[in-house]
Amino acid sequence: MRKLRITNYELRITKGNIMDLPLIQIYDTTLRDGTQSEGFTLSGNDKIRVAQKLDDLGVAFIEGGWPGSNPKDVEFFERAKDMQWKNSLIAAFGSTCRVKGGPEDDANIKALLDSQTPVCTIFGKTWTLHVKEVLLTTLEDNLRIIEQSVAYLKANNKRVIYDAEHFFDGYKADSSYAIETLKAAIRGGAETVVLCDTNGGTLPWEIESIISKLKEALSHPLGIHTHNDSECAVVNSLIAIRNGAIQVQGTINGVGERCGNANLISIMADLELKMGYTCLPKGNISKLSDLSHFVAEVANVTPNEHLPFVGKSAFAHKGGVHVAAMRRNAQSYQHVQPEIVGNKMRVVVSDLSGRGNLLSKAEEHGVEVESAEVLPVLNEIKELEARGFSFEAAEASVAMMLKRQELNYTAPFELVDFFVNVEHRAGRGILAEATVKVKVQGELFHTAAEGNGPVNALDLALRKALASYYPQIQKFHLSDYKVRILDSDHGTEAITRVLIDTRNSTSRWSTVGASTNIIEASWRALADSIEYGLTIAH
Q: Residue-wise pLDDT tens for the chain (538 aa)?
A: 333 444 554 444 443 343 455 699 999 999 999 999 999 999 999 999 999 999 999 999 999 999 988 899 999 999 999 999 999 999 999 999 999 889 999 999 999 999 999 999 999 999 999 999 999 999 999 999 999 999 999 999 999 999 999 999 999 999 999 999 999 999 999 999 999 999 999 999 999 999 999 999 999 999 999 999 999 999 999 999 999 999 999 999 999 999 999 999 999 999 999 999 999 999 999 999 999 999 998 998 888 989 999 987 777 766 555 556 656 666 777 789 889 999 877 665 554 556 566 666 666 766 776 666 777 777 767 777 776 667 766 788 888 888 888 888 888 899 899 999 988 877 777 888 999 999 998 899 999 999 888 888 999 999 999 999 999 999 998 888 888 877 666 666 678 888 889 998 888 888 888 888 888 888 889 999 999 999 887 7
Mark whether 506 and 467 lie in a shared domain. Answer: yes
Give the per-residue pLDDT at 273: 95
DSSP label at 227? B
- Domain CATH code at residue 273: 3.20.20.70
If one counts the domains in the chain, the total is: 3
Same domain for 429 and 393? no
Instruction: Output the CA–CA distances (angstroms, integers) from residue 143 to 127, 139, 164, 483, in the order listed.
Output: 12, 7, 12, 61
Determine the pLDDT at residue 10. Answer: 47
How many CA atoms lie within 13 Å of 89's alpha carbon, on the beta-carbon side? Answer: 26
Task: Let me know if residue 291 belongs to a domain.
Answer: no
| pLDDT per residue as tens digits for the range 501-524 | 999 888 888 888 888 888 888 888
Domain that holds residue 31: 23-281
Q: How far apart are CA 330 and CA 280, in angstroms?
A: 27
In order, the DSSP letters of 5-53 are PPPHHHHHHHHS-TTTS-B-EEEE-TTTTGGGSTT----HHHHHHHHHH
Distance of CA 92 to the CA centre of its chain: 25
43 close to 70: Cβ distance less than 8 angstroms: no
Domain boundary among 352, 379, 403: 403
CATH number at residue 499: 3.30.160.270
The pLDDT value recorded for residue 482 is: 86
Residues 248 and 334 in one domain: no
| 274, part of any domain | yes
Q: What is the pLDDT of residues 430-463, one digit of tens each?
A: 888 999 999 998 899 999 999 888 888 999 999 9
Q: Does residue 368 share a domain with residue 249? A: no
- Dihedral (C-alpha) 50, 51, 56, 61: value to the nearest 10 degrees? 140
**Cα 493 from Cα 476, distance rounded (Å):** 32
Q: Is residue 147 part of a domain?
A: yes
Q: Which of 281, 301, 328 is the last residue of a domain?
A: 281
DSSP annotation of 442: T
